Amino acid sequence: MMCAGELHSQEQHCCTPGCRVHGMLQPWLLLLLHEGPSHGYQLLDRLRRDGLASDPDPGLLYRTLRQLEEEGMVVSSWDTTRSGPARRRYELSPEGLDYLHAWVGEVARVRNQLDHFLSAYAQSFPPQAVNPEGKGGD
Amino acid sequence: MMCAGELHSQEQHCCTPGCRVHGMLQPWLLLLLHEGPSHGYQLLDRLRRDGLASDPDPGLLYRTLRQLEEEGMVVSSWDTTRSGPARRRYELSPEGLDYLHAWVGEVARVRNQLDHFLSAYAQSFPPQAVNPEGKGGD
DNA sequence: TTAGCATATATGTCGCCCACATATAGGAGT
DNA sequence: ACTCCTATATGTGGGCGACATATATGCTAA
């Protein structure tokens, strides 16, 4: 995690100003649900193991699922077949599938923007440039 | 820009929920300032032409520059040598240069995360997979 | 029995970044 | 005077993430 403040002072307990994947929870949930219906806690586990860099916040996850439901991207139903607390079973809707596809375009675009930045940086700081012309790099 | 709501209802005047480059204004400013001192309005122009996908918000830009100054990443001074309104000349500090380098690592990490998502998506939706085994894809 | 733990869902609060609107001011052209 | 361009700055509101906390079910150990 990085934050301008952290280079010269303490914390700022929150949300890492600076770069991070913002809003990637939604597409990850849509993608995981495309593989089959699931419930919040399980999605949390799958994200922990496979998806996001750091532990997704349960609060955010459940809020995001409810939001996706409000928007019609997923459909939920209570599942009380198993013992233990009732769980909400989420299922991807056709709209949700469309949304997932649309998301991918956005993500690819963002990735290209990051590439663009990294290229621009690489131009300003040529990696190990041993240049025969003798022009100074930095 | 994309927003779940936009697929089935109207607007939400603000901030594109969904994916976007979050917090990339800072590293872009640091990178541009590495090429030489500049002032806000000029940075805005350079970003418009070269950097970010969409017009950066002037308000955000000036706020970000002041924030970077508070954090010691840039140093500013008034420039009244030219006619017209006074302008603040921003210059990258050594700390700012360190910060830029740190940023690049973050950006690369995020890019890898986006790649990871795109790969996972590609696995779920194999591109044009004409599979000889005859197994249904979707 | 009751205390603790894992499972499972949910809300409160705060901070950051972004979008959009607006304010201020100097200088140039009409 | 009025408008436009340059240039900097603040107000306001929203979305998402981080962290804390509340709730309830069921199992197990003391």
Mean pLDDT by 10 residues, chain B (138 residues): 39 50 86 95 91 82 94 93 91 94 89 92 80 49
Q: Which residue stretches of B9-87 are H helix? A: 25-34, 40-49, 58-70
User: Domain-by-domain residue ranges, chain A?
Assistant: 21-123
Q: What is the pLDDT at residue B83?
A: 86
Q: Which of A8-22, A93-107, B15-29, B64-78 has the lowest mean pLDDT?
A: A8-22
What pTM, to 2 d.p., does this model score?
0.83
Q: What is the pLDDT at residue B131?
A: 59
Q: Is A15 on the interface with B (CB under 8 A)?
A: no
Q: DSSP labels for B75-136?
A: EEEEE-SSSSS-EEEEEE-HHHHHHHHHHHHHHHHHHHHHHHHHHHHHHHS-TT---TT---
Residue among A18, A102, A109 minimizing CB distance to B106: A18
Instruction: For residue A65, count CB atoms less than 10 angstroms from its CB and return exposed for 0-12, middle for 13-18, buried for 19 or more.
Output: buried
Strand order in the sheet with B38-39: B38-39, B87-92, B74-79
Q: Which of A16-25, A49-58, A119-128 has the lowest mean pLDDT?
A: A16-25
Q: What is the pLDDT at residue B134?
A: 47
The H-or-E segment that residue A38 falls in is strand A38-39
Residue among B2, B24, B120 minimizing CB distance to A106: B2
Q: What is the pLDDT at residue B129?
A: 57
Whose structure tokens read 């508070």? B70
CATH class of the domain defined by A21-123: mainly alpha
Name the band, by pLDDT with cuts 50, 70 and 90, for residue A84: confident
Q: Is B62 on the interface with A (CB under 8 A)?
A: no
pLDDT digits (tens, 9 = 90+) for B94-113: 999 999 998 898 889 889 99
- Which positions in strand D are less than 7 Å from the protein's CB atoms? 5-21, 24-27
Q: Is A97 on the interface with B (CB under 8 A)?
A: no
- Is the pLDDT assigned to residue A25 strictly greater than 80? yes
Helix (H, G, I), strand (E, B) or coil at A42: helix
Name the band, by pLDDT with cuts 50, 70 and 90, for residue A134: very low
**How many angstroms from the chain centroid is the CA of residue B90?**
19
Residue of A nearest to B69 (CA): A4
CATH class of the domain defined by B21-122: mainly alpha
Q: Which residue stretches of chain A are H helix? A: 25-34, 40-49, 58-70, 94-124
Q: How far is the C-alpha of A23 from the C-alpha of A76, rounded, in Å? A: 21
Q: What is the pLDDT at residue A131?
A: 59
Q: How far is the C-alpha of A112 from the C-alpha of A115, rounded, in Å? A: 5
Count of other CB atoms within 10 angstroms of residue B19: 25
Task: Give the residue among B34, B33, B53 at the shortest CA–CA distance from B43.
Answer: B33
> In the structure encoding, which two tokens stand for residue B6, read together?
């936009």
Which chain A residues are within 8 Å of B20, Cβ to Cβ? 22-23, 106, 110
Whose structure tokens read 């990696």? A127
